Amino acid sequence: MSPNNYATPRVGVLGGSGYTGRELLRILRDHGGVEVAFATARSEAGDATELPGLAYAPPDGVDPGSVDLLFLCLPHGEAAPRVEELRGADVRIVDLTGDHRPGSGREEGAVYGLPELHGPELPDARLVANPGCYPTGVILALAPLCREGLVDPGRPVIVNAASGVTGAGRSPRRDLLFGEVAGDFRAYAVGNRHRHLGEMRAPFPGLRLLFTPHLLPVSRGILETICLPLRGDADAGAVRD
């Protein structure tokens, strides 16, 4: 029993060998307040995980409904069917894919896992949609300014963002090889075509958002430069406040 007289929560991870899953396992390893019952992987089944004594299990070798909390670190599109399969199970789910985020069409019943905006709803949530990388920066920057009415909705907000290559996942891709990205800096999904746009726009109905992502030749990290039009009566003091 844990010091608070409750049993240590049992946690499972589906898709633990990608960059998201491996980082999650590292966090869980250092958390100290949970027991990781399993982590699955396809090609790396049987290999050691970040946790001592725990090897990756094949996806069909575990019972996802046997844990208290289940993390989904699967490829986009594969989490939604899993959630449907577990609708009647007594398990809480944190979906780290984009399958249940705002703008996905499947957000009903999920709590958006941005504590700065939805903190009171998270403790009782059965399904948490973990925010995406680019949207986290955009939403946290814009939310307080829009809440105070400082942004001019008649003009566009322009976001130029740069991300490291691990944001594209761990599967091998020719355009992400060292020889392709080293010394380079390039835009992609130009023309407001990025899949996270719906998630960014959801908290700010009516706001015009122009978003251009770029690929940096580094392993991880994001830098976002956000240019936003203020209302005519807004000044620097109001923005700082």
At residue 4, the pLDDT reads 45
Q: Which of 120-129, 158-167, 171-180 has the lowest mean pLDDT?
A: 171-180
Nearest one of 35, 44, 84, 91 to 63, comparing CA atoms: 91
| CA–CA distances in Å: residue 130 to residues 31, 172, 191 | 18, 25, 25
Q: Does residue 224 sit in helix, strand or coil?
A: strand
CATH superfamily of 133-240: Dihydrodipicolinate Reductase; domain 2 (3.30.360.10)
At residue 241, the pLDDT reads 77
What is the rounded end-to-end Cα distance, in angstroms, of the chain? 46
Nearest one of 67, 39, 63 to 51, comparing CA atoms: 39
Nearest one of 106, 105, 31 to 69, comparing CA atoms: 31
Supply the mean pLDDT for the chain: 92
At residue 169, the pLDDT reads 79
Averaged pLDDT, 177-201? 92
Q: Which residues of 209-219 are buried (b: 16+ CB within 10 A; e: fewer)?
A: bebbbebbeee
Residue ranges with strand state E in the chain: 10-14, 35-39, 69-72, 92-95, 111-112, 127-129, 157-163, 186-187, 209-215, 222-227
CB 185 within 8 A of CB 215: yes
At residue 46, the pLDDT reads 83
10-129 belongs to CATH 3.40.1160.10? no
At residue 6, the pLDDT reads 64
User: Rounded to whole angstroms, how far apart are CA atoms 20 and 71?
Assistant: 10
Averaged pLDDT, 211-231? 94
How confident is residue 192, by pLDDT bands cut at 50, 70 and 90? very high
Of 73, 133, 146, 227, which is the active-site residue? Answer: 133
Look up 133 and say whether it is catalytic. yes
Between 14 and 181, whose confidence is greater? 14
At residue 239, the pLDDT reads 82
How confident is residue 50, by pLDDT bands cut at 50, 70 and 90? confident
How confident is residue 122, by pLDDT bands cut at 50, 70 and 90? very high
* Model pLDDT for residues 129-159, shown as the tens digit of each residue: 999 999 999 999 999 999 999 999 999 999 9
Residue ranges with strand state E in 79-221: 92-95, 111-112, 127-129, 157-163, 186-187, 209-215
Averaged pLDDT, 47-58? 92
Sketch the domain layout of the chain as residue ranges: 10-129, 133-240
Between 127 and 241, whose confidence is greater? 127
Averaged pLDDT, 213-236? 91
- Answer whether residue 76 shows pLDDT above 80: yes
Q: Which residues, including other chains, have CB under 8 Å from residue 192's CB and lie 6 or more apart? A: 209, 210, 211
* Model pLDDT for residues 4-21, shown as the tens digit of each residue: 446 899 999 999 999 999
pTM to 2 decimal places: 0.90
Averaged pLDDT, 13-38? 94
DSSP letter assigned to residue 59: G
